[in-house]
Amino acid sequence: MSDKRTELDTLGEFGLIDHLTKNFETLNSSTQFGIGDDAAVVALSESESQLISTDMLIEGVHFNLMYMPLKHLGYKAVASNVSDICAMNGVAEQITVSIAVSNRFPIEALEELYDGIHAACKTYNVDLIGGDTSSSLSGLTISITAIGRAKKEEITYRSGAKENDLLVSTGDLGAAYMGLQVLEREKQVFEASPDIQPDLDGHDYIIGRQLKPEARVDVVGFLKQLNVVPTSMIDISDGLASEIMHICTASGVGCHVYDEKIPIDGKTSMTAIDFNLDPATCALNGGEDYELLFTVRQEDYDKIKGNPHMTVIGHITDKNDGIYFIDKNGSAIELSAQGWNHFK
């Protein structure tokens, strides 16, 4: 180890991954795709592949137990990993769960956490097949690995978008971020005045989107029914802008995304305005929506047109045209990723 010191935030999460893994080579022919997408791809047979994704949630970084019930946390931990399998156009089948826990948690607390994990397993039809437990000197850490399956010709990577493809988002965006803002506001009020009860009335939808998000396994099913294989896909965990840039970078393309097309729930918009925030900015940079962002060929438009779960929000351009957000006045603003960054 040299005396040179480089701060983690100079690289960011994905830059750090690239830096640390740049010298690794693929040694086994069964490894079809390694680092760089929502899940790794391993050959099962000539026609099928296994999808493997892992994620970690750390107390104080990814969740706050002052307002995150342990049962909801267990559910969310599974849903976020299942979402990564969905983002490869696959179906999750198994999970492993590893936890590191301090002695401030009794058995009953961990039972509640695993009740949430069990509920998610039933919802998504996945089996808990193993894991690990360890002690922790500080709080709770959860690491989940999701294992899924897909036909080789249906696996969708981030790197397949082509010029003139349509950019599609599922569901609505920004709600989870605004739910977090409400919870954080009420936490601060409680810390200042513990006798005051939290004011959460009217915020059920956005708080639910933050505490108990759902992986869009239904959309993967809809796409199969419609006979549509997206050209690229990613799940929206770090904010719409960040995910658009991941697809564009991996595919070597540009993009135009339109403010007026971004699906935002009315309650999300109203709450954002109450917080003096622009609803579109919350959708672009908020994260944790766990919706799917994908591209399709223009000839597939008629198949998805009118589907209430899918909204065309833009189109793919030549790389030299750049990545732009087109506001309601028609002005083109260069897009930048300002969502979640682990090292800032």
* CATH code: domain of residue 277: 3.90.650.10
Q: What pLDDT is recorded for position 92?
A: 98
What CATH number did the domain enclosing 98 receive? 3.30.1330.10
Q: Give per-residue pLDDT as tens, 197-221.
A: 888 889 999 999 999 999 999 999 9
Q: Give per-residue pLDDT as tens, 253-293.
A: 999 999 999 999 999 999 999 999 999 999 999 999 999 99
Which two tokens mark 102? 């301090």
Q: Give per-residue pLDDT as tens, 76-99.
A: 999 999 999 999 999 999 999 999
Residue 2 lies in a domain: no
Query: Do residues 291 and 240 make contact, with C-beta atoms less than 8 angstroms apart?
Result: no
Asked which of 134, 154, 174 is the last residue of a domain, the reply is 154
Residues 66 and 114 reside in one and the same domain: yes
Residue 58 has pLDDT above 50, yes or no: yes
Distance CA 232, CA 165 (A): 10
Residue 342 lies in a domain: no
Residue 344 lies in a domain: no
Residues 233 and 93 reside in one and the same domain: no
Residues 145 and 184 reside in one and the same domain: no
Residues 20 and 81 reside in one and the same domain: yes
Residue 164 has pLDDT above 90, yes or no: yes
Q: What pLDDT is recorded for position 343?
A: 40
Q: Which of residues 204 and 138 earns the better pLDDT score?
A: 204
Distance CA 310, CA 325 (A): 19
pLDDT band, residue 342 (cuts 50/70/90): very low
Q: What pLDDT is recorded for position 336?
A: 84
Residues 228 and 212 reside in one and the same domain: yes
Residues 204 and 71 reside in one and the same domain: no
CA–CA distances in Å: residue 219 to residues 78, 86, 229, 231, 334: 17, 8, 12, 15, 30
Residue 338 has pLDDT above 70, yes or no: no
**What percentage of the chain has pLDDT greater than the value 70?**
94
Could you tell me the residue range of the domain that residue 232 belongs to? 158-334
Residues 144 and 242 reside in one and the same domain: no
Asked which of 109, 130, 154 is the last residue of a domain, the reply is 154
Residues 313 and 164 reside in one and the same domain: yes
Residues 265 and 330 reside in one and the same domain: yes
Q: How many domains does the chain have?
A: 2
Residue 139 lies in a domain: yes
Asked which of 121, 154, 187 is the last residue of a domain, the reply is 154
Residues 34 and 127 reside in one and the same domain: yes
Residues 264 and 116 reside in one and the same domain: no
Of 309, 237, 238, which Cα lies nearest the Cα of 82? 237
Q: What pLDDT is recorded for position 340?
A: 47
